[in-house]
Amino acid sequence: MIRGIQKELRANTPDLSLRSTSDEWRAVSYVVRGELAFLFFIGASVALHPGFVLKWNEGGMSNYGLHIKTAVPYTLALSSLVFSSRRAAQLYAGAGGRSRRLSGLLWAYSVVVLSVMLSTYFYSRNIELKDLHFVCGTLLVVLVGVGSLWMYRLWPPSARIRALLGVQLLGDALALLTVVGTLHFLFLAEMLSNIGFAAFLIRTGRRIATEDDQVDSPYDIAS
């Protein structure tokens, strides 16, 4: 009788390992969909008004948040990153090790991107708001740079991953040089940095989920 009860309990108790692994793959899906939505809506913004960024003295994505014609796709682009990153962070939060650290990175990323988006709408009003917007943008550059370096070091890198890191760091370097006025390639810098960081997020999420599938454990025990 006791064995029967135990068997019944096992049959009706959810497998925490499978649930955790499923959450990790769902998190990867959110990151992918968020990035695709971001690229689509930024592409729509550029199509509506290419002159804001496609010129020698490049402006940045924030130009699209200042004009009624492009404010909606710009808002949808950054909101997609905020929502997808926040949702993925929630799915990773219940695990440990690298998954928990990845959750923290995604939470920070969603908060900083939201700050950049909100400060966009007001930064042209006065110098203080402009400085606030630049601070948010600089913080984003630093965050994705540090985050990419951390994700790069989690597993032995291949030549492709080294090239990917080079692309991401090139974007960060161009962005910082543009902020201080040395260069004027802000839109290109933002795209390179974003694509590189997103690729690292997807790679890291897939590796974590795959390893947890193989060890059949709800926790990432490797650090």
Percent of the chain with pLDDT over 90: 49
User: Does residue 76 lie within any of the structural domains?
Assistant: yes
- Does some domain include residue 8? no
Domain enclosing residue 134, as ranges:
15-215
Instruction: For residue 170, give both structure tokens.
Output: 């090139």
Residue 7 lies in a domain: no
pLDDT at 14: 40
Structural domain total, the chain? 1
What's the confidence (pLDDT) of residue 52? Answer: 76
Could you tell me the pTM of the whole model?
A: 0.82
Q: Is residue 160 part of a domain?
A: yes
Amino acid of residue 173:
A
Decide if 4 is inside a domain: no
User: What does each of the 223 residues of the chain score in pLDDT, given as a tens digit?
Assistant: 444 434 433 444 344 344 456 889 999 999 999 999 999 999 999 999 887 777 666 678 888 898 888 999 999 999 999 999 999 999 998 777 889 999 999 999 999 999 999 999 988 888 888 889 889 988 998 999 999 999 999 999 889 999 999 998 888 888 888 777 666 788 888 899 999 999 999 999 999 988 865 654 444 433 3
| Position 2 in a domain | no
User: Which residues, 6+ apart, have CB-to-CB distance to 177 below 8 Å?
Assistant: 183
Alpha helices in 49-155 (DSSP H): 68-92, 98-120, 127-152
Is 1 a member of any domain? no
